[in-house]
Amino acid sequence: MVGYRSEEEQIDQIRRWWGEYGRSVIAGVIIALVGILGWQQWQGYRDRQELAAAAAYQALVADLGDGNAAAAKSQVEQLQSEHESSAYTVLAAFQMAGHHVKQNNLQAAGKALRWAVEHAQVPALQAVARLRLARVLLGAGDAKAALQVAQPVPKDAFAGQFQELIGDIRTAQSDGAAAIKAYQAALADESNSQRHDLIQAKLNDLGPAESAL
């Protein structure tokens, strides 16, 4: 009987606990399920968006390959409007900037690359966008603006490329001492070893008097 009563007492305790907390438990389970389903739906939505952005990017590349710049421009505008945060949209800006450079339209190239700098969420893509924008500005004769874009130098695998670019900018500004300092920093960056000979040549072009500083 003792065991039987203990079981009854346990059942009564469970009933009382359920009466007091059952609704909260059910609500918690429902919230958890909604959260899981909501997350899955969100992930599915993101995946679909990325697929759409990828398709638009491939269409843009094909349009540029076919010489259809107007259609490519339309694809870029659609990507920037509907997929602003996608890496594919940044890559699309790179493609259009390259097209504009080939057409010697540096102003349009700069505009495309500024968009990329401002919207790139992947650090590597933003670094590439900054490098390309600074080069376009330098090519357009605006060394001051190019230097502003190239600084500060990132502390990553792109550091050597930025230092070399700053050397180019300083050379254009006839600031030999600053150019040497930047080129030497570029040479010291092991990640930039493939460009070692070219950078050394740029350093040598400054002349023995400058190189001895």
Asked if residue 24 and residue 93 are part of one domain, the reply reads: yes
Residue 141 lies in a domain: no
Burial code (b: 16+ CB inside 10 Å, e: under 16) for 72-110 equals bbebbebbbeebeebbbbbbbbbbbbebbbeeeebebbb
Residue 179 lies in a domain: yes
Whole-model pTM: value is: 0.76
Per-residue pLDDT, 156? 83
Residue 143 lies in a domain: no
Asked if residue 173 and residue 85 are part of one domain, the reply reads: no
Q: Is the peptide bond preceding residue 123 cis, with omega within 30 degrees of 0?
A: no
Amino acid at 189: D
Residue 177 lies in a domain: yes
Which domain does 182 fall in, by range? 151-213
Asked if residue 167 and residue 103 are part of one domain, the reply reads: no
Residue 144 lies in a domain: no
Whether 211 and 180 have beta carbons less than 8 Å apart is answered as: yes
| Model pLDDT for residues 46-83, shown as the tens digit of each residue | 667 778 888 998 999 999 999 999 999 999 999 999 98
Residue 209 in tokens: 């008097």
Residue 127 in tokens: 């670094």
Residue 18 lies in a domain: yes
Asked if residue 57 and residue 160 are part of one domain, the reply reads: no
Asked if residue 155 and residue 119 are part of one domain, the reply reads: no
> Does residue 5 have a pLDDT over 60?
no
First-to-last CA distance in the chain?
A: 101
Q: How far apart are CA 171 and CA 185, in angstroms?
A: 15
- 23 pLDDT band, cuts 50/70/90, is low
Residue 146 lies in a domain: no
> Does residue 8 have a pLDDT over 70?
no
> Does residue 191 have a pLDDT over 70?
yes
Asked if residue 84 and residue 11 are part of one domain, the reply reads: yes
Asked if residue 157 and residue 100 are part of one domain, the reply reads: no
Q: CA-based angle 100:112:88, to the nearest 5?
A: 105
C-alpha closest to that of 167 among 184, 144, 190, 142? 184
Mean pLDDT value of segment 94-122: 95
| Model pLDDT for residues 142-186, shown as the tens digit of each residue | 999 999 999 999 988 899 999 999 999 999 999 999 999 999 999
Asked if residue 173 and residue 102 are part of one domain, the reply reads: no
Q: What is the mean pLDDT of the chain?
A: 84
- 212 pLDDT band, cuts 50/70/90, is very low
Q: How many domains does the chain have?
A: 2
| Model pLDDT for residues 117-149, shown as the tens digit of each residue | 999 999 999 999 999 999 999 999 999 999 999
> Does residue 209 have a pLDDT over 50?
no
Asked if residue 93 and residue 27 are part of one domain, the reply reads: yes
Per-residue pLDDT, 138? 97
DSSP string, 148-194: HHH-SPPSSTTHHHHHHHHHHHHHHTT-HHHHHHHHHHHHH-GGGGG
> Does residue 41 have a pLDDT over 60?
no
**Among 123, 143, 177, which residue terminates a domain?**
123
Share of the chain above pLDDT 70, in %: 75
Asked if residue 188 and residue 87 are part of one domain, the reply reads: no
- 16 pLDDT band, cuts 50/70/90, is low
Residue 186 lies in a domain: yes
